[in-house]
Amino acid sequence: MNEQPSPEFAGDLSQPEAARLREIETQYRVLLDLTPSYVLALEPDMTIRFCNAAYARMFERPADELAGQSLLELFPPFAKTASYAAYRRILETGVPEQVIGPIGPVYLHAHIFPAPWGLLSVAQDITEQKQAEKRSKLAHVMTDLLDEIDIALWELDTEYHIVSMNRRAKEIYGADVLGQPCYQVAAKTNRVCPNCPAKKVYEGAPSGRSEHRRVDTRGNVIYIDHIATPIKDEQDRLTGALVLIIDITEHKRAEEELREAYEEQTRLREEVIAAQQRIIGELSTPVIPVMEGILVAPMVGSIDTERARRITETLLQEIGRTQARIVILDITGVPVVDTSIANALLQTAAASRLLGSEVVLVGIPPAVAQTIVQLGVNLQGLATRADLQSGVEYALQRLGHAIVDIG
């Protein structure tokens, strides 16, 4: 700090007067250092004559080191600012001005006055105010932008109250839900939902998600997907959650349509399979009326329990339809007959007798005949013949007919 009185004021002062002047100047400098205002004395060439501690802090240097240095060298961009232009005008016109603009990292509202040595600037730090205005403008822009999108969203505080919402959210939930807990609005409950996406965020998760079904303000049933992300302040402290509310009704409807289409396709496929099985069953077990009162059922290939059941079912239906008195079961093409199949044939014969029809078993292969004997299957009561011709002759005899050679 310069301990000598300014030459403009020193003149021919006596030593006591000069000392008194230095004392007053020191007191004023102390007062200026205590004020939060930014005080700057500049010479016409922009050399710093004096600045207080608040101004010096912008450059992170003591005020004494800045005295005598050019402001244009300390902060070269200053030459292109509105403040510099105002400084030049005041030096030319002598008329004080107010200037708002940045000096380094700080935004200042300065009152600039002409002075005997050049310029005196007294400024207030309005950085926070400018940042708040910027945030406010950005918030308004974001609000307008978010009102235009078709995705609803709301902002929650840490107590789950809705503090703001966009246009689409108001359409879904109504504008009167502001201030209410989200769980009362979304889930119609008086407690936080276990799967609440905001709850997950408040518990430390980077995001949360859940799905709800509800009726909107127009009475339409809709499906909503909630996605929450944390809101934090400048100190990284959690202050709330931003919840995106996505209408997935169309997606759900598409899923439902796909599910219904799949079920219909499955039903049709099962019907086709059933029809195919029925046709295959009919083809694999044909029942042929050879003449009035006589049916022939030729069997080819292996017979399992299911096929034996179909044979019995088909045969009984044809007996009932044709009122046949004789049924010829031809097993010439059956390679294997086990106990269950033999019993099934016996049961078929018994059921046929209940309908008034006699069963004749023909075409038993030698290997099958041996197996039947070894298994101890009792065919008593069941007429057997060696082949189909013999079976037909037997049937004709039973009906009082005969084959006559007319040659």
Provide the β-strand partners of residue 246. Answer: 225
On the question of a common fold for 35-129 and 285-398, the answer reads no
35-129: CATH topology is Beta-Lactamase (3.30.450)
Query: Strand, helix or coil at 119?
Result: strand
Q: Pull the structure tokens for residue 111.
A: 């009152």
Compute CA distances 405 → 290, 402, whole Å.
Answer: 19, 10
Q: Pull the structure tokens for residue 217.
A: 């303000």
149-247: CATH topology is Beta-Lactamase (3.30.450)
Q: How far is CA 134 from the centre of its chain?
A: 33
Please state, in angstroms and rounded to a whole number, the distance separating the CA atoms of residues 276 and 397. Answer: 39
Please state, in angstroms and rounded to a whole number, the distance separating the CA atoms of residues 191 and 182. Answer: 10
Length of the chain: 407
User: Which residue ranges make up each domain of the chain?
Assistant: 35-129, 149-247, 249-282, 285-398
Closest residue by Cα to residue 52 from 1, 97, 88: 1
- Pairing of β 294-300 and β 326-333: parallel
Compute CA distances 188 → 180, 209, 365, whole Å.
Answer: 11, 18, 77
285-398: CATH number: 3.30.750.24
pLDDT tens series, the chain, 407 aa: 444 445 444 455 677 766 776 777 677 777 778 888 999 999 999 999 989 998 888 888 898 899 999 999 988 888 888 888 999 999 999 999 998 888 777 888 999 999 998 999 999 998 888 877 777 676 666 666 667 777 888 889 999 999 888 888 888 788 888 889 988 887 788 888 888 899 999 999 988 888 877 776 677 888 878 889 998 887 888 999 988 888 788 888 888 888 888 899 989 988 888 877 766 665 566 888 888 899 998 887 777 777 788 888 888 999 999 999 999 989 888 888 787 778 888 888 888 889 999 999 998 888 888 888 888 877 777 888 999 889 888 888 888 887 766 65
